[in-house]
């Protein structure tokens, strides 16, 4: 009996997420986010993300997933993905330092990115 083959892109995303999760265990929060937590002019949303491990981890996952999707999508879809990301960043910034709002924003964006990944046409 043969084992069912794994979906390679899903495996790649899972492996990268595991690697990133492992590296964030050893790095302090100021080095984990997708932006520089040591910068002097952080906005309130960025300050909250840097101060909260769960938000920091969500930011890393979102940024990693976004980068992976950017490489998998065709040019037109990639442009749409980037436009959606810019709009989402404005939504995140509107949360200010509200941790619950930021968590909801990350949850919604990660769900959108997962849906975008699931909608990619793949050969059988």
Is the separation of the CB atoms in 105 and 88 below 8 Å? yes
Confidence tier at 73 by pLDDT (50, 70, 90): confident
pLDDT given for residue 9 in this prediction:
54
Average per-residue pLDDT in the chain? 81
Name the token pair of 46: 């960025």
Q: Among 24-38, 61-75, 91-105, which stretch is predicted with the lowest mean pLDDT? A: 24-38
pLDDT given for residue 119 in this prediction:
86
* Higher-scoring residue by pLDDT: 78, 15: 78
| Whether pLDDT at 110 is above 90 | yes
Is the separation of the CB atoms in 16 and 22 below 8 Å? no
**In a domain? residue 17:** no
* Higher-scoring residue by pLDDT: 75, 2: 75
Q: Tell me 7's DSSP state.
A: -
State how many domains the chain has: 1
**In a domain? residue 22:** no
pLDDT given for residue 56 in this prediction:
96
Range of the domain at 51: 44-124
Confidence tier at 52 by pLDDT (50, 70, 90): very high
**In a domain? residue 2:** no
In whole angstroms, give the CA distance from residue 119 to residue 38. Answer: 37
**In a domain? residue 123:** yes
In whole angstroms, give the CA distance from residue 7 to residue 85. Answer: 26
Question: Hey, what long-range contacts does 101-104 have (CB within 8 A, 24 or more apart)?
Answer: 102/45, 102/48, 102/49, 102/52, 102/55, 103/54, 103/55, 103/58
How many residues belong to the chain? 124
**In a domain? residue 32:** no
Average pLDDT over residues 11-19: 49
pLDDT given for residue 76 in this prediction:
86
């Amino acid at each position: 009996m043969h084992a069912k083959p794994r979906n390679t892109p899903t495996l790649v995303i899972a492996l990268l997420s595991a690697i990133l999760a492992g590296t964030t265990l050893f790095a302090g929060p100021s080095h984990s986010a997708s932006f520089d937590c040591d910068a002097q002019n952080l906005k309130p949303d960025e300050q909250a993300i840097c101060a909260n491990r769960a938000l920091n981890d969500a930011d890393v996952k979102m940024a990693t997933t976004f980068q992976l999707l950017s490489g998998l999508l065709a040019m037109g879809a990639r442009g749409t993905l980037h436009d959606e990301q810019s709009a989402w960043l404005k939504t995140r910034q509107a949360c200010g330092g509200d941790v619950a709002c930021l968590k909801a924003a990350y949850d919604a964006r990660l769900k959108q990115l997962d849906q975008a990944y699931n909608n990619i046409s793949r050969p059988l």
